[in-house]
Amino acid sequence: MRRWNGWGEEGVVFPLSEKARVLLQEQLGPGTLPREATLEEVLSRVPPSRLPPHPLVSPDPEERLRHARGQSLPDWIFLRSGQIPAFPDGVAFPTTNEEVRALLAYAREVGARVIPYGGGTSVAGQVSVLPGEAPVLSLDLRRMNRLLRLDEKSLLATFEAGVQGPDLEAQLRAWGFTLGHFPQSFPYSTLGGWVATRSVGQESLRYGRIEDLFAGGRLEAPAGTLLLPSFPASAAGPDLKQAALGSEGRLGVLTEATVRIRPLPKAEAFAAVFFREFGEGLEAVRRMAQEEVPLSLVRLSTPEETAVNLALAGQSRGLALLEAWLALRGAGPGRALLLLGASGTRARVSQALGEALGIARAHGGVYAGQAPGRFWAHHRFRQPYLRNTLWEMGYAVDTLETAGTWNQVPRLLLAVEAVLREALGEEGERVYAFSHLSRVYPTGANLYTTYLFRLHRDPGTNLARWRKLKAAASQAIVAHGGTISHQHGVGTDHLPYLEAEKGPWGLEALRALCRALDPWGLMNPGKLV
């Protein structure tokens, strides 16, 4: 059973190493766990549904609770405290296009708003139910999870869009293929959710972002059905796939998606490198990106994050030796960890890693074997469980991300971390922030910042702290030329900053698209635009 107010499966726990506990105490002081609402308490507070009955719509309070919020930090604050601003009035689990269309017609008839719901792993408020006059219908697509067509000759697979990561990969693996899209939310997030949020997988350097993988599909919009054909490429006017990508449920419901697949890789390998300082690592990964070395993973941590990574790995003889050896080679406390990965044929893997290590060495990098990379790969889907552990220790953890050109990356990183560290100064609270780059491009890179702060007993205070931090970081991002989101989308949390990036006429163009496909304004209002 999935946790209703946290990450992942009940019973699965990722304990923090002693070393990491100590580090946290040092950085933030002792945490306080606010009072947690029980499931029963919260269920007793779910108000009666405002939706007239429909055979496909469940008014069950637990379903409604489980579809009320996503996985952002504010979502957690509401869920854990039990102070949830609004619930959907009903949840439907359609299994066909026709049922989706019937539900859209019903929503129009009864004046309901519709929130398409995939895995509910949204971290920017995309699935959150907002208080309002109109009843809200959550449209859970996870029962639409079949592989509909597989074209092995053209390397295209068509799935129903509610298919979740592991199910999708299992269905492809049975035929010898992979999509290669592995966001950290992979165990729960869905193909439709990936498309609707322009998601980025951890091996996107090799496989591409979801926009590169999404070849076409079917969008059931209130106005009608939009079929997106799967041409290899087309010059026939603006590309409407690119309107579905990132549409966050505003244009309609994606019911089918055709994706570009690849044969399962024959080999996969990782390598770790330590740089004496972050700047050297930055130059090295820029060169790797610009020389188009065919890697699958490039993940460069700041010195702070490198320290956290080492602390998380715990205490072992191997690690102690590694640290001693690194110190000897000049990579002391300011060292920055770079993880590299490659996949494909054996020859290409070894060539790519060879080229990359050559570049790393030329920038002062010290090769540190394969173990750290394998450790990362092994734990990558377990890591989000740390959010539960940390919360229970009295710490809130959130992540922020952006992307900028190489020209801007260093300043962007400094600015975001600096404002986060200072944002709670007035309250006498510290913020622990550290970052990595996890996707490089020839023209720039993303930045992914994790920040922790202490929880207060009062959920309102926690929310206010988060708001301060989010506003400060978002303003810094905009001011330093970053995009308001490289991978998490817009939702409610980034909406105020979208105009800075799209401009007034860009927003108008997006609104016009919404009006064209959803003239009655049914779809997920208050999100994106």
Map tokens 């067509």 to a residue: 149
Dist CA 140 CA 154 (whole Å) = 31
Residue 181 C-beta: closest distance to ligand FAD, Å: 9
Residue 276 to residue 255: CA distance in whole angstroms: 49
DSSP summary character for residue 9: B
Q: Which amino acid, one-letter code, is at 511?
A: R
Nearer to its own copies among residue 411 and residue 421 (C-beta): 411
The answer to whether the beta carbons of residues 88 and 130 sit under 8 Å apart is: no
Active-site option among 385, 395, 432, 448 = 448
Q: Which is nearer to its own copies, 58 or 446 (CB)?
A: 446
Going by their DSSP bridges, the two strands 177-178 and 366-367 should be labelled as unpaired
**475 near ligand FAD, judged by CB under 6 A:** no
Q: Work out how close the CB of 86 gets to ligand FAD at its nearest, in angstroms, rounded to a whole number.
A: 15
424-483 positions binding its own copies, by CB under 8 A: 439, 441-446, 481-483
483's contact among its own copies, ligand FAD, none, with CB below 5 to 8 A by partner kind, is its own copies
Annotated binding-site residue? 465: no
Residue 147 sits in the site that holds its own copies (CB under 8 A) = no
115 is a contact residue toward ligand FAD (CB under 6 A) = yes
Contact between 426 and 371 under an 8 Å Cβ cutoff? The reply is no
- Annotate each residue in 386-415 with x if it binds its own copies (CB under 8 A) or - if it does not, as one string: -----------------xxxxxx-------
Residues between 479 and 498 that touch ligand FAD (CB under 6 A): 487-489
Which one of the spans 196-204, 286-294, 388-396, 464-472 is the region binding ligand FAD (CB under 6 A)? 196-204
Q: Does 122 bind ligand FAD (CB under 6 A)?
A: yes
- SS3 of 504-529: HHHHHHHHHHHHHHCCCCCECCCCCC
Footprint (CB under 8 A) of its own copies, residues 309-338: none
Contacts with ligand FAD in 53-72 (CB under 6 A)?
A: 70-71
Overall residue count recorded for the chain in this entry: 529
**Beta carbon of residue 239, minimum distance to its own copies (angstroms, whole number):** 5
Q: Given candidates 5, 81, 128, 197, which one binds ligand FAD under the rule CB under 6 A?
A: 197
Answer positive or negative: Cα dihedral of 289, 295, 299, 300: negative
Q: Please, what is the minimum distance in Å from the beta carbon of residue 440 to its own copies?
A: 8
Q: What whole-number distance in Å separates Cα of residue 396 and Cα of residue 243?
A: 34
CA distances from 253 to 286, 291, 353, 471, 519 (A): 38, 39, 41, 31, 15
Q: Residue 427 is which amino acid?
A: E
Taking alpha carbons only, the member of 314, 385, 320, 397 closest to residue 17 is 314
The answer for 246, left when phi > 0, alpha when psi is -120 to 50, beta otherwise, is left
120 is in an annotated binding site: yes
Using CA atoms of 321, 326, 330, 333 in order, give the dihedral in degrees to the nearest 10: -100
Decide: is 450 part of the binding site for ligand FAD (CB under 6 A).
no
User: Which residues are annotated binding-site positions?
Assistant: 116-122, 387
Residues annotated catalytic, as ranges: 448
Q: Give the footprint of ligand FAD on this chain (CB under 6 A).
A: 7, 70-71, 115-123, 126-127, 141, 161, 183-185, 189-190, 192-194, 196-197, 199-200, 248-249, 253-254, 384, 487-489, 524, 527
